Structure 1
Amino acid sequence: MGGVLTPRDYNEFSLRYMHKIVDGLIRENEGRRVPVTLFTKNGGMWLESIAATGCDAVGLDWTINIADAKARIGDKVALQGNMDPSMLYAGHDRIRQEVAGILEGSVMQVQAMYLTLVTVST
């Protein structure tokens, strides 16, 4: 929920620790690079700062337009996201329509899109 913090609090209590985490990770395993994705809920105002942490990808929530994010951070990192989680309640046709809209609105090659699916038994 970094997006609800003031700029000073975000830098002190969130971004600072993201830098420490990224810097402290082992980034290679058996000769292969291990990618790091960072995500801040409502983090649109912090995209440039997040991309500058040394991560490989920035996760976007549904409140951020992919084309705008790409224009702001360029090719520094991959972008991941950004389907609205309310799509979990939609039918298949509506989900297909939403995915098509995200892809059409993207000004880049889509590298990763995610939506966590959860099955709840009643």
Structure 2
Amino acid sequence: MSPTIAYRTGIALVGLTAFLIVWTTIVRDDGSGAGNFMIILAAVVGGYAVRFDAAGLARAMAGVATMQLILGLLTATAPITATLDGGAPKAFAFHAVFMLLWLASATLFRIAGRGALTAR
């Protein structure tokens, strides 16, 4: 593991994001959990594929953020979403928040890959 503060913060943010996705999926229980769990699986597999290297994790988390955005667009435009309370805007906002968290972790990994914010 890289000794940088940015890397450790990025890992913590990934863990927090995954926890929040699982928690909100369980609480909402609207049947859309499979897509959310696939996003988490993509983050884990992507991290393993790049051997948890900071620069590789930055690219992997950017890819996961893109997947989250696409899942949000698919969910918001699904016909069943129009029947739910809040409809498409609420569904897209839900996914947009998580997309921003994935992008924040990608930014932290990019900083860690450049060697900034080293721990003392």
More helix by share: 2
Tell me whether the two structures share a fold, i.e. TM-score over 0.5. Answer: no
Structure number with the bigger relative contact order (C-alpha 8 A, sep ≥ 6) is 2
